[in-house]
Amino acid sequence: MSISKYIPEELFRIFAETRVLRESRACVIVGGAIRDALRGIQSTDFDVEVYGVREEDLQEGLSGWGKVCSVGKCFGVIKLKTAEGRVYDFSLPRRDSKVAQGHKGFKVQCDPELTFYEAASRRDFTINAILYDLREDKLIDLFNGERDLRNGVLRHVGSAFVEDPLRVLRGMQFVSRLNLRTAPETIDLCRRIISTYSELSKERIYGEWEKWAVKSEKPSLGIKFLEDTGWLKHYPDLLILREKVFESSYGGSTDWLAIILDVCDRLVLMEEWKWFSSDTRIVLLFSALCLSMDEKESFNEEELFQMRRDENRQNRESPTVKFLFSVGIAKWLQKRIFSIKRGWSFLRILKNISPSDIRKLAYLVYPESIQNLICLCKAFEEENEFNKISRIEFLAKSMGIETSAPVPLLKGELILEVSGLPSGPHIGKIQSAAFIAQLDGEFMDISSAKVWLKKYLKTYET
């Protein structure tokens, strides 16, 4: 297979016309770009390792091609942004040795005289340890990574794997992204370092979960990988779903974790998925994981509206809150996930679907949309809910609120003007009552809103 067609022509020019690269002992592309090329996929991330040169000479030689900056001097990485807008990472081969806990607890020593074997042996998985020699136009595969990739196997490179526990979470997202099965010896090695999870920062943890959510081809494989390696114990609110029984409306039962993993796999196969932004993918997959996580699953309409009003005051002891915190999800994304959960709970109690119900649903699911909620519902594949979901989708589209939410017509300033009442907490109560009436369809414009308000005030006591 020709790898060169997956390498930007610009990178070949940089190599051919930059003296320090031409005269280096070797100049190789490493990591994900080569893994992707072997799968027939064009990568946008290129890591180039240069042997037999000094860092200052490399930086000077690259400076003629664009903006150059060192990224963490101790790691010997030079980032080049060219005039064509591409970004390449150039680095020197290095030795890593763990001297303390955490990702900063490594002693890193650049060594331009390292052999290919020594440099590649510090990598995590064999599929990421394949080198492509720019000068010789050939692969250097010292750990049989190409064979593992062809056979769909995730296998660690060597004993250095245990030095960084993040590699287990990287395994989680790789098996999901590339549809891989894990070598038994790699499963065993991951089990041996379960206790090192505490060394990981929230930022690093979230980085791998984010890739799982955004790039997975089969998300369930990543969660099963964590289960097989014992690492799911670090997410107890997810693990406990194995013990929670799901009763099918057609008879039979299974556990909730099995159900939501199927939902996750169906989500990424939907036609709409390829058009979703990264943020929306994160929201939908994590919403699926959290659907049945909290102890109380059934809420009435009044409770859901109160949850919407109190959306910035989530219960910190809620299993969903604890799980989302444990994976490092940002508060603004959590807000979107909880809005999907509110919408899901509202759908559970709806019987005959009216336009009023659709307006309420659009309000409850904000800042998410009915459109995204419907996508999750379809992935759930409850056949007895199909007609309900279809009617909701039809009404939301016809009412023009499939991707938006109703805005209150009667706001505080207008209520004060019409009522003549003084400012105070009672104005907020009137506004809440007015908005519920608006959602119920009692008025649809400012004129009819004022008429409703005057009638309401005759029976209202401050």
40-79 residue pLDDT tens:
999 999 999 999 999 899 999 999 999 998 875 555 789 9
Cβ-proximal residues to 121 (8 Å cutoff; 6+ apart), any chain? 129, 143, 157, 158, 160
Of 76-85, 367-376, 379-388, the range with the highest mean pLDDT is: 367-376
pLDDT at residue 432, as a whole number: 87
Q: Percent helix, strand and coil across the chain, each rounded to 5? A: 55, 10, 30
Instruction: For residue 139, list its beta bridge partners.
Output: 132
Largest CA distance in the chain: 90
Average pLDDT over residues 165-183: 97
Per-residue exposure over 221-236, b if at least 16 CB sit within 10 Å of its own CB, e if not: bbbbbbbbbebbebbe
* CA 306 to each of CA 291, 299, 301, 311, 347: distance values in angstroms, whole numbers, following the listed order: 19, 11, 9, 8, 16
* CA 23 to each of CA 50, 51, 117, 144, 360: distance values in angstroms, whole numbers, following the listed order: 10, 10, 21, 29, 69
pLDDT at 396 over 90: yes
CB 272 within 8 A of CB 375: yes
pLDDT at 251 over 50: yes
Average pLDDT for the chain: 90
Residues of the chain with CATH 3.30.460.10: 4-151
The model's pLDDT over 111-169, given as tens digits with 9 standing for 90+, comes to: 778 899 999 999 999 999 999 999 999 999 999 999 999 999 999 999 999 999 999 99
Instruction: For residue 156, list its beta bridge partners.
Output: 125
pTM: 0.90
Choose between 299 and 26: higher pLDDT. 26
Regarding beta strands 153-154 and 181-182, do their DSSP bridges make them parallel or antiparallel, or are they unpaired?
parallel
Which of 307, 322, 385 lies closest to 349 in space, CA to CA?
385
Instruction: Find tokens 């989680």 and name the residue.
Output: 172
pLDDT at residue 18, as a whole number: 95
Task: Look at the domain 4-151 and name its fold.
Answer: Beta Polymerase; domain 2 (3.30.460)
Choose between 256 and 462: higher pLDDT. 256
C-alpha to C-alpha distance for 132 and 11, rounded to whole angstroms: 13
Average pLDDT over residues 357-380: 94
Average pLDDT over residues 283-303: 87
- Angle subtended by helix axes 278-290 and 370-380, to nearest 10: 50
CB 214 within 8 A of CB 280: no
Cβ-proximal residues to 76 (8 Å cutoff; 6+ apart), any chain? 55, 91, 92, 94, 108, 110
Phi, psi of 50 (to 5 degrees): -115, 125
- CA of residue 28 relative to chain centroid, distance: 31
C-alpha to C-alpha distance for 82 and 11, rounded to whole angstroms: 10
- Per-residue confidence at 301, pLDDT binned at 50, 70, 90? confident
Q: How many CA atoms lie within 13 A of 442 on its CB side?
A: 18
Strand residues in 102-234 grouped as ranges (E): 106-110, 131-133, 138-140, 153-154, 181-182
- CA of residue 343 relative to chain centroid, distance: 21
pLDDT at 261 over 60: yes
C-alpha to C-alpha distance for 432 and 302, rounded to whole angstroms: 12
pLDDT at 445 over 80: yes
Of 228-242, 306-320, 345-359, 404-418, the range with the highest mean pLDDT is: 228-242
C-alpha to C-alpha distance for 361 and 343, rounded to whole angstroms: 6
CB 52 within 8 A of CB 113: yes
Average pLDDT over residues 229-243: 95
pLDDT at residue 99, as a whole number: 46
pLDDT at 297 over 90: no
- Please give the span between the terminal C-alpha atoms of the chain, in angstroms, as a whole number: 79
Cβ-proximal residues to 43 (8 Å cutoff; 6+ apart), any chain? 6, 32, 33, 36, 37
CB 362 within 8 A of CB 342: no
Instruction: Find tokens 């336009």 and name the residue.
Output: 355
- CA of residue 61 relative to chain centroid, distance: 38
C-alpha to C-alpha distance for 326 and 442, rounded to whole angstroms: 44
